[in-house]
Each structure stands twice: as C-alpha cells, then as structure tokens.
Amino acid sequence: MIIVMKAGATKKEKDEVLKRIRELGYTPHVIHGTTRDVIGAIGDERGKLVLQTIEPMHGVESVVPILQPYKLASKEVMKESSIIRISDSVSIGGSKIVVMAGPCSVESEKQIIESAEAVKKAGADMLRGGAFKPRTSPYSFQGLEEEGLKLLAKAREITGLPFVTEVINPETADLVAEYADMLQIGARNSQNFALLKKVGQLRKPVLLKRGMAMTIQELLMSAEYILSEGNQSVILCERGIRTFETATRNTLDLAAVPVLRSKTHLPVVIDPSHATGNHHYVASMSLAAVAAGADGLIIEVHPDPEHASSDGPQSLKPAKFADLMEKMRRVAAAVDKTI
C-alpha cells in the first residue's frame, strides 16, 4: 500500500504515520518527492484492509492500495484457467462454449418440458429455469418453489440436460442443492454475504452473477467469499450493469471478458438476455460474446414469450434460438472453439 502525504505534512505527522504502519505489521519505506513524501508499506496486504485506517490521520492525503484484495480468485495464485465440472458431460472453461438456455421461470410441467426439449434439440448443453424468483414487486409471480425444482428435475430426466436454478435464501439453499446441478446467485444477491457463505459450504458449482452496480473487483471479492468457504467451483456471469442509457435494460459490459481473463482463473459466462432486456438484441450480443472469448452463455428461451410469467420481452422463441445456435457455432469455429 502507498500512503501519499500532504504537501505540507509536518515531521511529527509523518512520524505518527510511520509508527502506525509498523504497529499494523508492515515495514514503511519513505520516498522523498519534489513536493511531498510518499510512503510504501511493505508486507502482504491481502486480507488486511486495516491500512485504510491510516487515511484519517493528520498529514495524510490518500492511501492507494497496490495489491488486489482477493487471493483465491486471483490468477497470481492459480495461473491456469479453471475448468469447472458440472456433470459427466458438461464442463465450463475449456474450448467448448457451454450454452445454458430455458425460460426465466418454471411455470408448468408442459412449459418446462417443451422448453427443455426445444433447447436440447437446438444444441444447448444445460437447461435454465427459475423456481424461486426474486421479483422487484411483491405482487409479481414469485415462482413455483419446490414444485418448480421437481419439474426441472423431470425435464433433466427426459432430456439429459443438467440444470441451473437460482438460490435466493440460505434457508432454502440445501433444498435447491438437492435438485440442481448448478446454483445461481442472482445479481440482486451478489453481495448477500450470508448467502455467499452458505453456497460456499455446499458442494455444487455456483454461477455468480455480477450485481448491477458491482465493479469487477467486487465481483471477484464475492467469488472469494464462496472460494474461501471451500467451494472451488465458481463461474462468473456478466449480465449487464446499470448506467444512464435506457435504450437497453442494462448495459452489457462485454469487456469484462478480457478483463476477468487477465485477473482470474475462473470461467466467465455472458447473459445477453438480462443485459439487453429485449429479444431483438440478444442474437447480436450472443455472437459478440462468443467472439469476445466467453466460456459460456445463458440465454432465455420460452415457447410462448407473450404469455410468460416473467421476462417475456427478452425471451427468444425456440426457432430463433435454434437459428442463433447455428450462427454461434460458426463464430465459435472462427475463434477456434466449439459450441
């Protein structure tokens, strides 16, 4: 960590800062600059945010962290990309791009089975579908809950597709983990640390969605919560961040793919459906995600979007999805991957 002193800091102020740095277990190293002094605090600062407490001291202008605050998620700790096993047939992180598809919510047996069969036929690797739904409005459809999990399991039995579904609560996490192949942490729970710890204790892969106002560094810190509890199977998901632009529901930060690639060994999945909120824009962003180097995609597909209980406007119909899969295959081949 670097402590930048004020231009007019007194010797006494500097001495107090040096003393405090030593108290905290670091070795101070002073650089006398032209207009001010800068102090390097040497020592492993990961996991010790305490140096920040120097900021309110007299004579201190700012404290600049040098190391990233995450360890287990870092590429420095594990240089090779992680490949996360989901089932016997599906792993995320290699040259095969994994496509997860299905409706926003499980609504009925017919709807989820039809969806699963349609996305399977088009070539998807996994089924997605929500049983517990975190809805902005208390008056909106909140999901079929355990009944939804059972229907997802039935769809898996029929199609062979493993499924991912959201966990919204530490209390029901064990229940979801009994059924699901992968647990999803939604954007609104991306800093629900109690929930992150809970899924960190389970032995199921976790798809961690980036929060709407979450920096990439904070996403890695949330991953660190899960990893530090012992669960090494974390997949990161960019699903759009909130900006001033309203032409799309969120703004897809696709550059998160190469940025995360440079910082972490964890795989990265893109959700073009929530990012854009509009089915017209999903195909273009899916192809872009493949070209950008994403390890997977999670796409909303619904047999009848106009009658969907949630997220109809952003869901693709099966025929459109099949067409998109074909296009993605071509782009994947152009970047030496497969779908």
Site for a copy of itself in 127-186 (CB under 8 A): 134-140, 168-171
Query: Long-range contacts of range 325-328, CB-CB < 8 Å, 24 or more positions apart?
Result: 325/99, 325/122, 325/123, 325/124, 327/283, 327/287, 328/97, 328/99, 328/286, 328/287, 328/290, 328/297
Binding residue for a copy of itself, selected from 281, 296, 299, 324, defined by CB under 8 A: 281
Query: What's the CA gap between 76 and 264, in Å, rounded?
Result: 8
Q: What Rg value do the Cα atoms of the chain yield, rounded?
A: 23
Stretch that binds a copy of itself, among 41-49, 90-98, 115-123, 157-165 (CB under 8 A): 41-49
Stretch that binds a copy of itself, among 81-89, 175-183, 201-209, 324-332 (CB under 8 A): 324-332
Please name the residues in contact with 127: beta carbons below 8 A apart, sequence gap of 6 or more: 100, 101, 102, 112, 115, 116, 119, 120, 152, 155, 156, 159, 161, 162, 163, 164
Widest Cα–Cα separation across the chain: 76
Binding residue for a copy of itself, selected from 232, 291, 322, 323, defined by CB under 8 A: 291
Residues paired with 185 in a beta bridge:
208
Stretch that binds a copy of itself, among 90-98, 118-126, 153-161, 192-200 (CB under 8 A): 192-200
Residue 46 binding a copy of itself, by CB under 8 A: yes
Residue 53 binding a copy of itself, by CB under 8 A: yes
Closest CA to 122 of 336, 303, 248: 303
Q: Please say which residue, 38 or 322, places its beta carbon nearer to a copy of itself.
A: 38
Size of the site for a copy of itself (CB under 8 A): 110
Residue 319 binding a copy of itself, by CB under 8 A: no
Query: What's the CA gap between 140 and 136, in Å, rounded?
Result: 8
**What are the distances in angstroms from CA 331 to CA 127, 232, 253, 279, 317?**
22, 30, 20, 20, 21
Binding residue for a copy of itself, selected from 85, 121, 160, 334, defined by CB under 8 A: 334
Q: What single string gives the DSSP state of each residue in 205-231?
A: -EEEEPPTT--HHHHHHHHHHHHHTT-
Contact letters for a copy of itself, residues 90-109 (x by CB under 8 A): --------------------
Q: Please say which residue, 130 or 162, places its beta carbon nearer to a copy of itself.
A: 130
Query: In the range 61-90, which residues lie near a copy of itself by CB under 8 A?
Result: 64, 66-67, 69-70, 76
Stretch that binds a copy of itself, among 80-88, 145-153, 175-183, 252-260 (CB under 8 A): 252-260
Query: What's the CA gap between 178 and 285, in Å, rounded?
Result: 33
Structure token digits, residue 45: 């600062």
Q: Closest approach of Cβ 75 to a copy of itself, in Å?
A: 10
Contact letters for a copy of itself, residues 208-247 (x by CB under 8 A): ---xxx-xxxx--x--xx--xx-----------xxxxxxx
Alpha carbon 37 to its chain centroid, in Å, reads: 40
Stretch that binds a copy of itself, among 34-42, 83-91, 102-110, 151-159 (CB under 8 A): 34-42
Q: Closest approach of Cβ 166 to a copy of itself, in Å?
A: 11
